[in-house]
Amino acid sequence: MNMSHEKDTAVKVAWKYYNEGLTQTEIAKALNLSRMKVIKYLEFAKKNHIIQFKIDLEQISDMDLQIKLMEKFNLDDIYIVPSANDDNSIDSITIAAAQYIEDRITSDTMINIGYGETVSRTLGRLNISTKYKVTFVSLSGGVKFYMPTAIDQASDYYTNPNYKHYILPSPLMVSSDSLAESLVNEQSITDILEMIPYSNLTVIGVGALNEKATLVREGLISIREMEILKSHGAVGDLLSQFYDIHGDVLDLSLHNRLVSTEVQLLKSLNNVVAVACGIEKKEAIIGALKGGYIDILITDENVARSLIE
């Protein structure tokens, strides 16, 4: 069947079903189709993003809890998604985060992006109108964190012609302070780092100190080293820089081996969105909030309630 005809019919079927409120049987009669064909066209419309379901994020949040948290941590905004009883929290949170970003793109936009699974999955869910051009800039080295393997395979994150990507061409962590310093001064890296302050939006994850942390899974830090960091008072990391419960960045030698934006810069950026869920990240989120690095928090209900206890 002709693809444009199929798409055209799918649009008509979806319109009648969702906007006009006709039943599948009524649509079949109106368009001279079998009821099975109507069902197939509705599935086609969903699969090809002809119809997109948007949840009203305001409806699912407890406004009283939102206001308390915004006042307590001096946030510009917060979105709270229902907590899942299983491992699906990351799905809920990344869907909400992608929608939050989509709803705030009103012109050509530049977005800074951190690394990690939560940010990758959020980017993989983006579905931004083709009338806007979007530039993505990585905040740190570690090229693999920003490549398609880390992104939801069904996404158009790397194929959308309206998206441009500026990825720091270096590892996240190198073997010596001097090598890190040399890399940060390389023209190809400097050019990208200099773009970061001009962003409209910054999207980051929050790292907790456990075996599931990206840094541990990638072999950049061992479990033993993680325990040592904890004994120094570390509760979490932003852009691989570790901080305590008050948000003060710890004086650690490993920070000098990073090729990354300094975490302090987050304070001067506009609209820093942190996407983080799971009660095991509670202390990491508290430290990041107290440090003043985050403007907008997207998290789950269990975490949100624990933050005002």
Sequence spans of domains, the chain: 3-47, 57-306
| DSSP code for 116 | S
The residue-averaged pLDDT of 134-153 equals 81
pLDDT in tens, 70-102: 999 999 999 988 887 656 678 889 989 998 999
* pTM recorded for the entire structure: 0.81
Beta pairing class for 272-275 and 207-208: unpaired
Dihedral sign, Cα of residue 50, residue 135, residue 274, residue 138? positive
pLDDT in tens, 166-181: 999 999 999 999 999 9
Fold of 3-47: Arc Repressor Mutant, subunit A (1.10.10)
pLDDT range class, residue 244, cuts 50, 70, 90 = very high
pLDDT in tens, 250-286: 999 999 999 999 999 999 998 999 999 999 999 999 9
Average pLDDT, the chain: 90
* Amino acid, res. 39: I
Answer yes or no: is pLDDT of 50 > 90: no
Which CATH number, 3.40.50.1360, 3.40.50.2000, 3.40.50.1970, 3.30.360.10, labels domain 57-306?
3.40.50.1360
pLDDT in tens, 108-127: 999 999 998 899 999 988 98
3-state class (DSSP) for residue 205: strand
